[in-house]
Structure 1
């Protein structure tokens, strides 16, 4: 999962770019690179590294670059081995156009062998075709008096696949950005603006964010942001992010995942506070439904499996659960179901595709997400926010817990339950933060003991029945993700038939 960042303003760009890259290190990387453009806009300084961003920062600590435009990238190798020459940014043959890119260009080989066959390529990446295509638009004057934005717009239809990209060019005092099936945000400052794959990259600078939408192209300068879609100017809402930079830092914990586990009680409190008041339970949307389809991926899929059990148990409303990645290629019969898409980030590509498919079939759609203003919230008819705060760790923890809480709230909202029973159920929910804190505080020694015990095994089976089957599946996923020990979640009743 690559990360990209950009800066345009009045301050020196280098340290801002390096700091932003450090804030998205959680995405993982095998190489990194930065570009700073001098204030005269004609000279660029590029540094690439196979080492950590901290080491790159140290190596550049005495640099005298005063440029106020910069871009940066962290790379997980997909096309081409991890190496300095495959690290971003990538350039056209004349070194005038630079690009950092998150995503995959599926037809890069066709482009290399076709319209770009005379270009000199210096890497094995798919990304490098992008600056060559942009430069070719200028060189051949395909558009009379073309601007950098025009050239980018002309090139994008030739790219098959996904991209979030930032383009810098000699002689240009800003950056051009574009997105398709890959998230990209603009952080809004005062006479400066920021670009990033994810909000934590800019939180130390601003909490004012614009989420670019599918197909958007933007020209970002220090004192202006122009956005267009389908060659027409559009306005995008500026969102105030309700998190602080402290929320997106480790706060003394060894790593983000441990911190976020310890934040689960607060996340439960914040989620309940959003929907419970003295007047009772109110999710803020109409829920007259005969059946529900939940679509999700990864951990959110397992929370949806729990949600199915909870909602059917409490409200007796039939719920089906589909992997978003499979739903998109199936002939699933929707029959006017309410479709609920669960996605922590609100940007999961397969889940967004599923939402769009449901809307094409005329279904009412609801996004259950953690991120205000994300793509899922703009596609869906309604949104239920889980209030987990920023989740930096790749392995979901607190977002899973509050997704379960939200499913319980959904079940209670749909149930025609006597007042006293409803009050008792809500009282039980309100005890959850305290119970979660007891487990976190009181079971640490036992957890350490069990971890040492499990570390001696190569294969682990998590077994569950009913709602605990979904918990078993999620437990197996966590063990695989974090320890690389092979694990499987299994239905207890099926042990006699396998595995």
Structure 2
């Protein structure tokens, strides 16, 4: 999760920009930079690595401007070098950016055909040149930014500083959070309120598609059609922003909404978005050409992510995979002589059973790797290879963004494994990584279905039991959807492979039993339809999570629909997780339970 900060003031802002960036260090980053206007002239300072390097650069060459923007960057497009660090600039402006511009290659080619020269490998620089072109055509900064926003595909937030104009900052968001702070004679822009907490206790949160124009005198907010809108002012004591829900009711909802952004950062760790080639993060030398069998293990939601991972590795890399719940793995005393790699999945990196399984595998002489969200954790330290999920801190006990980031990491790893083993051609690799880059946008579209899902949750909250069904990639999601519902709403729920319905669960079906069916219109859709018809014939209530083609098939009359965009199969576990999270979330609200801290549960299970 990159960090954005912007300040428009009448006093020098460089020190405050750096201070705000320090408050965003928890998001993770590998380079940083700021830009200010001095006598109207745009000047930048950027540095690789930690903020101490940027601070040293500023000590040697101070910036004294009273308006500026700053950024901490996780590398996605291009290596973490100074030329790729933000802010990116032209003669007309500087820009900072969180997220991924999916169609940047086409936009870049268009600009290069007009003679534009690029200085970096990033998608962000494309935005800078596009807005510069609109300014050259005579548009105002506001109109130039709005014109370009309509051409961008993906999930992102942006901050703009304009050369020669010391009275304007512009921000925009689509799928990636951005907040506006108001002070006396100065205004602030930040990727979250934590960055703004030292400066103001008056904050507005931009909504989806908004862009904002900040001046010394105030703020104007516009929707995606450039119509003026108002957004609620929120006030709080500054220090309270250190743990802040933003404009969300619960941390779980906030973390659901953060998924487009954190997915882009996780993807950037495993894919060089400039070339479209997969990689092992941090220069590690894990070679899947030497892996002929894998053992996967995890607990809870991590186990369901590993189950999807098994499908990924077997489908895309043709590596046979064994999978165990971590609490059973070491006690089963499975012979591991033909296993070349043991892979463990954990959000916290401290899960006791998963750690014990890791140690068992190491004692058996296995090479080990860990998909973890906390790179300083015990599991990360004791693994041979650390495969980071860049979800940022997850406060809600029920995992949401950590789960989908685990899926993203596993999907990219499976592609890398397929390439290493010669199963995936270079052309297919590019195709698959471009598909993965669509995940932030598609998850953002799934989040937009929240109002529809909230309506369905009202009926779900009246039930005592629920079934979740799915086939193929959707089977692990059925398990995860059931887990989410029972974790936070306390409704008993079970997930099954749809083909198992007739092997027992069908006995439970009557008019009081809701059945959530996860069924994109894929190779197994027709078989899943037959299961839905069996449910309908017994009076069961059906909620079908599908795509437009699945919804149009008229598979089952009377089924409630949650209709997601069409997408390739590799993305369905990631995107289809969103409505299941939202269904559980809103059902729990209807039930009046403690969403963020459900009874009897802990965020990290550090005892067996």
TM-score (norm 1): 0.56
Deviation of residue 239 (structure 1)? 2.1
Structure 2: distance between partners of 1:216 and 1:318: 37
Deviation of residue 323 (structure 1)? 11
Pair 1:110-2:103 in alignment: no
Structure 1 residues 313 and 133: alpha-carbon distance in aligned structure 2, compared to 1, 3 A threshold: closer
Per-residue CA shift, 1:251-310, capped at 9, x if unaligned?
xxxx9999x99999xxxxxxxxxxxxxxxxxxxx9945466799999x996861543893
Deviation of residue 182 (structure 1)? 1.5
Per-residue CA shift, 1:132-189, capped at 9, x if unaligned?
1111112233xxxx21001111111221222200011112222111111211111222
Deviation of residue 209 (structure 1)? 1.8
3-state SS in 1 of match to 2:116: coil
TM-score (norm 2): 0.47
Structure 2: distance between partners of 1:151 and 1:46: 22
Which residue of the partner structure matches residue 178 of structure 2? 184
Contact 2:47 2:57 (8 Å CA) reproduced = no
3-state SS in 1 of match to 2:15: helix
Which residue of the partner structure matches residue 231 of structure 1? 226
Pair 1:211-2:187 in alignment: no
Contact 2:194 2:241 (8 Å CA) reproduced = no
Per-residue CA shift, 1:304-342, capped at 9, x if unaligned?
15438930279x764648699x95758478967698xxx
Which residue of the partner structure matches residue 420 of structure 2? none
Stretches of structure 2 that go unaligned for 5 or more consecutive residues are: 245-373, 378-392, 398-455, 469-473, 495-511, 523-544, 563-573
Deviation of residue 222 (structure 1)? 2.5
Contact 2:221 2:228 (8 Å CA) reproduced = yes
Deviation of residue 244 (structure 1)? 2.6
Structure 1: distance between partners of 2:124 and 2:395: 39
Structure 1 residues 124 and 337: alpha-carbon distance in aligned structure 2, compared to 1, 3 A threshold: same
Contact 1:22 1:53 (8 Å CA) reproduced = yes
Structure 2: distance between partners of 1:63 and 1:305: 55
Contact 1:209 1:238 (8 Å CA) reproduced = yes
Structure 1 residues 64 and 74: alpha-carbon distance in aligned structure 2, compared to 1, 3 A threshold: closer
Structure 1: distance between partners of 2:111 and 2:396: 52
Structure 2: distance between partners of 1:12 and 1:56: 17
Stretches of structure 1 that go unaligned for 5 or more consecutive residues are: 250-254, 265-284, 340-348, 359-364, 370-379, 389-398, 406-428, 451-499
Structure 1 residues 85 and 242: alpha-carbon distance in aligned structure 2, compared to 1, 3 A threshold: same
For 1:450-469, what aligned pairs fall within 5 Å after superposition? none
Which residue of the partner structure matches residue 81 of structure 1? 79
Structure 1: distance between partners of 2:12 and 2:4: 18
3-state SS in 2 of match to 1:124: coil
For 1:377-392, what aligned pairs fall within 5 Å after superposition? none
Which residue of the partner structure matches residue 454 of structure 1? none
Structure 2: distance between partners of 1:29 and 1:384: 39
Pair 1:201-2:201 in alignment: no
Pair 1:169-2:165 in alignment: no
3-state SS in 2 of match to 1:114: helix
Structure 1 residues 337 and 31: alpha-carbon distance in aligned structure 2, compared to 1, 3 A threshold: same
3-state SS in 1 of match to 2:150: helix
Contact 2:5 2:69 (8 Å CA) reproduced = yes
Structure 1 residues 33 and 286: alpha-carbon distance in aligned structure 2, compared to 1, 3 A threshold: closer
3-state SS in 2 of match to 1:60: helix
Deviation of residue 90 (structure 1)? 0.9
Structure 2: distance between partners of 1:58 and 1:26: 21
Q: State the Cα RMSD in Å.
A: 4.8
Structure 1 residues 307 and 336: alpha-carbon distance in aligned structure 2, compared to 1, 3 A threshold: farther
Structure 1 residues 335 and 218: alpha-carbon distance in aligned structure 2, compared to 1, 3 A threshold: farther
3-state SS in 2 of match to 1:109: helix
Structure 1 residues 212 and 303: alpha-carbon distance in aligned structure 2, compared to 1, 3 A threshold: farther
Structure 2: distance between partners of 1:247 and 1:301: 30
- Which residue of 64, 88, 91 corresponds with 1:90? 88
Deviation of residue 80 (structure 1)? 1.1
Structure 2: distance between partners of 1:209 and 1:97: 26
Deviation of residue 383 (structure 1)? 8.2
Contact 1:31 1:51 (8 Å CA) reproduced = yes
Which residue of the partner structure matches residue 100 of structure 1? 96
Structure 1 residues 245 and 313: alpha-carbon distance in aligned structure 2, compared to 1, 3 A threshold: closer
